[in-house]
Structure 1
């Protein structure tokens, strides 16, 4: 199993999460329905990232489980920070 594509996809997921978080802080947090706007943006990002990952990576069960683990780990931290920001309003 080649780990370079997995590492690259993990880095792209983290970069995409940071970008989504920055957009949330800069544009959505001050407006109305900030949580719903964040969810739409984040779900779109997740679907696009997952499709790209499934096209690029080899079709193996172990790769898929690693991909899901990276996705859950990165999403947990993103949602944790967003929920904390929303609760502090």
Structure 2
């Protein structure tokens, strides 16, 4: 399972858990949702740090891979990576 999926499911799980804890409190449903959102965000900052860091590393690796591929394609389009020994290379 990817780190982004784990982190997202963790955030949703925390939100549902906090909302379930607030369900017995006499408040407007909108207030319950807002409080659950705020508390779950604060809890996820501490409880899901490992998954958040793992997700950030995964995203950084993917961005670096895309950046390298983009540079390779740009140089190929500019004709900078053609092999001079190739039979169809311009002379």
TM-score normalized with structure 2 length = 0.40
Larger relative contact order, structure 1 or 2 (CA cutoff 8 Å, min sep 6)? 1
Q: So what's the TM-score if we normalise by structure 1?
A: 0.41
| Structure label with greater radius of gyration | 2
